[in-house]
């Protein structure tokens, strides 16, 4: 009787096991059915059978093997973590009180200044730089079906993943003319949307435009001077009449806004593009705009240059030599062969080099002024540049704020290593420490003679670059010269990229003028070089150099020969194994100096600090110049986005202090009313070390 009760309890509490028991306990082979009826089991045997069945699941549970962990499981967990983090951040941004410490959003400068009575006065013209302006398709090859007037550059970049080779083909220019290839027309996106956002959520001009709107600006008194940033500056006029349209727009805004002069705000390469415009607009037609000598004085109040690349950037050289910079060199060191692997047909760097070498504008960013500006084999203006850890940077910043003098902080964290930044390209780290007398320097004439013995290699297909027309011996000849300065760099570039340099050097020059009254300087190729042209006769106009400081910025490179000798490989690459001593300036094959992450201080600030300061041969009318530096302060958390006190090359466009400067100047203030110069870096000392005739 007790066995029966236990059996009923088991069935009610665990029916699954009960059914199992019934199957295993009572099922018999067919030939034994009769016997089972004749000889029923005793209660004791039933209990023992139930107990045996109950023990089986326990044994199975013990013997169960753990599930094998697969790569898919790792990916799913990673995606899950990312999604959870994203939703958590979204929750924090939308539901936490805004007045908590670290979450308080500062009041927009436009709102605050409008409350103080500031309103729109002078029309504003915005001039974007390289890369940040959108490009759209007007005519293309069959592979571009469905992309008419769709953005190929700027925006979502979805076409990169859908049809990457077609996308690259349409972004390339003709190697001979520097203009459109046959059957392709790509044009700049017009209007404020051309460069307000580079990609969804990544602002460029959007924050500044929004704050200008808060004090009364709109499209009738604010204009984005979009242009095709791939072209040489004069070719933007030849193909698109971009300079003529800019001239007409400024004249129209001047008249329709009560004859108020225009405030121009160019950024990065747009700074030297507008410098070219200043000479073009006064030059006689057909080469110039025919505005005459007084046009700038009549129409322009101030030029507020943001992150100006007046004297070029060394990273442009690395882009031409190996299509890489600090970040790409790091990726190549961590995953060798990933970016230029033939396995999956990526060859990313080769494609980048093939396309970018058709853009003449890249040459406009090659360092100007030679060794006079950038230094020779032994010295450079940044000779006292201090390399220190993040902790030292914080202590130095605190010392500046508290004492107004950072001499002690610099002395405390000074590094024994003395980088020779004038050696912009060095082959081997040991070449950096040798005195110039022990270096092997190849004569430029000998280097150029080697460029004549080039071979034609057609086996590389569409990915081929000018390196494919060079023999391995000619490539090794490049390395025979241990180091290259800003002067010898031009010969190096002519050697490795002769087609590009021949085409582009018809539009740009990189020297220093001896006699600015020489008639040769009336040619347009000199107009974008501040060292080979004069500012207009406009004594009432003001020029501002606004840029960030306090961020390590690429200045020179250690190179090596690539180990690969494949046809499609790039034979030169940054030596990412080269590091300096004691947290020095050399990291991953790249030397760093003070700057805004893209433009070194000497390039951004020298013209306002010395070249144009007062009446000089480059500034004969004595236009007032001001330096407005912004000490970089990184955001405290992800919730602050890209920061409101950033000094980075693009993020500075959201810097509250910079936006306030623009709004005040547009509202009628002068440079003196802003407070004059605001300097955190050693730009004045650097400028004093540059021996140039003024």
Helix (H) or strand (E) run with residue 549 in it? strand 542-549
- For residue 411, what are its two tokens? 């002395």
Active-site residue flag, 596: yes
- For residue 87, what are its two tokens? 């939703």
- For residue 131, what are its two tokens? 């890369």
Number of CB atoms found within 10 A of residue 221's CB: 21
Among 648, 646, 609, 606, which residue's Cα sits nearest to residue 625?
609
CB 603 within 8 A of CB 530: no
Q: Considering 268, 361, 364, 488, which one is annotated as catalytic?
A: 268
Q: Which residue matches tokens 């009575």?
A: 117
Among 17, 264, 22, 232, which residue's Cα sits nearest to residue 123?
264
First-to-last alpha carbon distance for the chain, in angstroms, is 118
The CA radius of gyration of the chain, in Å to the nearest whole number, is: 34
Distances (CA, A) of 79 to 76, 84, 90, 200, 671: 5, 8, 16, 21, 51
Q: Considering 468, 596, 651, 677, which one is annotated as catalytic?
A: 596
Strand-pairing partners, residue 557, are 425, 590
Dihedral of the alpha carbons of 609, 610, 612, 614, in degrees to the nearest 10: 100
Q: Considering 491, 649, 677, 681, which one is annotated as catalytic?
A: 649
Contacts of 178 (CB under 8 A, 6+ apart): 231, 232, 235, 358, 360, 503, 504, 507
Distances (CA, A) of 194 to 63, 127, 135, 190, 203: 65, 10, 8, 6, 12
Q: Which residue matches tokens 């960013």?
A: 365
Active-site residue flag, 327: no
**CA 572 to CA 564: how far, in whole Å?**
10
Torsion sign across C-alpha atoms 142, 146, 147, 149: positive
Torsion sign across C-alpha atoms 29, 33, 39, 44: positive
Distances (CA, A) of 214 to 211, 256, 463: 5, 20, 49
CB 641 within 8 A of CB 634: no
Among 210, 285, 193, which residue's Cα sits nearest to residue 247?
285
Active-site residue flag, 174: no
Q: Are strands 542-549 and 586-587 parallel, antiparallel or unpaired?
A: unpaired
Among 343, 400, 407, 423, which residue's Cα sits nearest to residue 633?
400
Dihedral of the alpha carbons of 322, 323, 324, 329, in degrees to the nearest 10: -60
628 three-state secondary structure? strand
486 three-state secondary structure? coil
CB 231 within 8 A of CB 363: no
Contacts of 315 (CB under 8 A, 6+ apart): 325, 554, 598
The DSSP annotation for 309-372 comes to: -TT--THHHHHHHHS--HHHHHHHHHSTTSTT-TTTT--HHHHHHHHHTT-GGGGGGS--SHHH
Contacts of 369 (CB under 8 A, 6+ apart): 311, 486, 510, 511, 512, 531, 692
**CA 532 to CA 528: how far, in whole Å?**
8
Q: Enumerate the active-site residues.
A: 268, 596, 649
């Amino acid at each position: 009787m007790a066995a029966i009760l236990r059996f009923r309890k088991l069935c009610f509490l665990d029916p699954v096991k009960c059914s199992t028991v019934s199957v295993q306990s009572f099922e018999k082979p067919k030939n034994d059915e009769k016997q089972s009826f004749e000889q029923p089991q005793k209660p004791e045997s039933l209990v023992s059978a139930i107990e045996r069945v109950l023990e089986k699941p326990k044994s199975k549970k013990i013997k169960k093997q753990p599930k094998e962990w697969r790569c898919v499981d790792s990916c799913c967990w990673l995606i899950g973590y990312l999604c959870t983090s994203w939703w958590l951040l979204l929750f924090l941004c939308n539901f936490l009180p805004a007045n908590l410490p670290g979450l308080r959003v500062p009041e927009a400068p436009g709102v605050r200044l409008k409350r103080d009575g500031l309103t729109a006065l002078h029309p504003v013209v915005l001039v974007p730089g390289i890369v940040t302006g959108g490009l759209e398709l007007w005519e293309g090859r069959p592979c571009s079906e469905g992309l008419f007037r769709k953005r190929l550059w700027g925006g979502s970049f979805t076409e990169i993943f859908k049809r990457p080779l077609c996308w690259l083909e349409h972004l390339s220019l003709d190697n001979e003319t520097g203009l459109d290839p046959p059957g392709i027309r790509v044009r700049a996106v017009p209007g404020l949307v051309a460069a307000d956002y580079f990609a969804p959520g990544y602002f460029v001009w959007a924050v500044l435009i929004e704050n200008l709107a808060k004090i009364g600006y709109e499209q009738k008194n604010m204009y984005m001077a979009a242009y095709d940033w791939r072209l040489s500056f004069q070719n933007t006029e030849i193909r698109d009449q971009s300079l003529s349209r800019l001239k007409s727009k400024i004249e129209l805004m001047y008249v329709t806004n009560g004859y108020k002069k225009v405030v121009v705000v160019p950024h990065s390469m747009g700074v030297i593009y507008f410098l070219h415009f200043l000479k073009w607009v006064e030059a006689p037609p057909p080469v110039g705009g025919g505005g005459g000598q007084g046009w700038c004085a009549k129409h322009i109040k101030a030029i507020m240059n943001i992150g100006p690349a007046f004297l070029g950037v060394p990273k442009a050289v690395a882009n031409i030599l190996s299509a890489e910079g600090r970040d790409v060199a790091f990726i190549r060191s961590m995953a060798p062969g990933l970016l230029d692997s033939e396995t999956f047909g990526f060859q990313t760097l080769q494609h980048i080099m093939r396309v970018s070498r058709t853009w003449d504008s890249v040459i406009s960013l090659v360092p100007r002024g030679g060794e006079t500006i950038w230094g020779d084999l032994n010295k450079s203006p940044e000779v006292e540049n201090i390399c220190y850890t993040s902790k030292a940077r914080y202590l130095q910043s605190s010392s500046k704020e508290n004492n107004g003098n950072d001499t002690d902080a610099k002395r405390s964290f000074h590094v024994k290593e003395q980088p020779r930044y004038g050696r912009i390209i060095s082959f081997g780290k040991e070449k950096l420490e040798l005195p110039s007398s022990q270096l092997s320097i190849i004569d430029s004439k000998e280097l150029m003679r080697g460029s004549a013995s080039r071979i034609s290699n057609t086996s590389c297909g569409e990915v081929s670059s000018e390196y494919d027309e060079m023999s391995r011996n000619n490539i090794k000849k490049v390395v025979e010269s241990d180091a290259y300065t800003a002067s010898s760099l031009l010969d190096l570039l002519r050697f490795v990229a002769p087609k590009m340099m021949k085409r582009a050097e018809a539009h740009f020059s990189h020297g220093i003028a001896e006699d600015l009254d020489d008639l040769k300087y009336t040619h347009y190729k000199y107009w974008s070089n501040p060292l080979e042209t004069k500012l207009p006769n406009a004594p009432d106009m003001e020029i501002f150099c606004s840029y960030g400081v306090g961020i390590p910025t690429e200045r020179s490179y250690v190179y090596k020969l690539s180990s690969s000798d494949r046809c499609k490989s790039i034979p030169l690459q940054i030596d990412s194994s080269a590091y300096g001593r004691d947290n020095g300036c050399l990291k991953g094959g790249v030397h760093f100096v003070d700057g805004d992450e893209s433009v070194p201080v000497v390039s951004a600030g020298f013209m306002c600090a010395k070249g144009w300061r007062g009446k000089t041969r480059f500034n004969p009318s004595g236009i007032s110049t001001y330096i407005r530096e912004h000490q970089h302060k990184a955001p405290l958390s992800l919730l602050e986005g890209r920061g409101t006190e950033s000094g980075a090359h693009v993020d500075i466009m959201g810097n509250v202090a910079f936006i306030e400067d623009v709004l005040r100047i547009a509202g009628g203030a002068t440079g003196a009313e802003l407070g004059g110069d605001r300097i955190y870096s050693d730009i004045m000392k650097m400028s004093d070390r540059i021996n140039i005739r003024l």
